[in-house]
Amino acid sequence: MSRLHWRIQKIENRSGDSRAVAAIVNRISQASNRELYEMIHGGVLERMAKRLSDEQLGRLIERCKKMLIGES
């Protein structure tokens, strides 16, 4: 993990996101379209999301929405 990613993750953890949410967000943001397609259809994201609490899942959904808005 690069120093930048480590620092970002540290800041995210302090702002309320858990490590699990930050890890999933990082994987999604770093994945290519093909890798993301395979993660979704292979069930990887579903398995990762099942490990989250309801509160963490809500934060993950909000973070993903913000990423989508940022791309438009």
> What is the reported pLDDT for 70?
75
> What is the reported pLDDT for 12?
61
Structure tokens at 45: 């994201």
pLDDT tens digits, 13-66: 565 567 888 889 889 989 999 999 999 999 999 999 888 888 889 988 888 888
Residue 13 in contact with residue 55, Cβ under 8 Å?
no
Buried b (16+ CB within 10 A) or exposed e, 15-34: eebbebbbebbeebeebeee
Domain ranges of the chain: 3-71
> What is the reported pLDDT for 41?
95
> What is the reported pLDDT for 72?
53
- Distance between CA 21 and CA 56 in Å, rounded? 6
> What is the reported pLDDT for 34?
95
